[in-house]
Amino acid sequence: MKNSNKQSYTRKIRLRIRILWLILVLMLVYMVIVAELGGGDSRIVTDFADAAGDILFFGGLLYLASRIVHNKKLLRSRLLLQEQMREEQDERNQYLHDKSGGTVLDILLLLLMFATVTAALFNMPAFYTAFGILAAAVLLKAGFYLYFSRKAG
Closest by CA position to 48, among listed 142, 139, 107, 135: 135
DSSP 44: T
The C-alpha atoms of residue 32 and residue 47 are separated, in whole angstroms, by 21
* SS3 at position 101: coil
Q: Is the dihedral of CA 128, 133, 134, 135 positive or negative?
A: positive
pTM assigned to the model: 0.83
How would you classify residue 102: left for phi > 0, otherwise alpha for psi between -120 and 50, otherwise beta?
left
Integer-rounded Cα radius of gyration of the chain: 19
Mind listing the pLDDT tens digit of every residue in the chain (153 residues)? 566 666 788 999 999 999 999 999 999 999 999 888 887 777 888 999 999 999 999 999 999 999 999 999 999 999 999 999 999 889 998 999 999 999 999 999 999 999 999 999 989 999 999 999 999 999 999 999 999 999 876
Non-local CB neighbours of 149 within 8 Å, separated by 6+ positions: 96
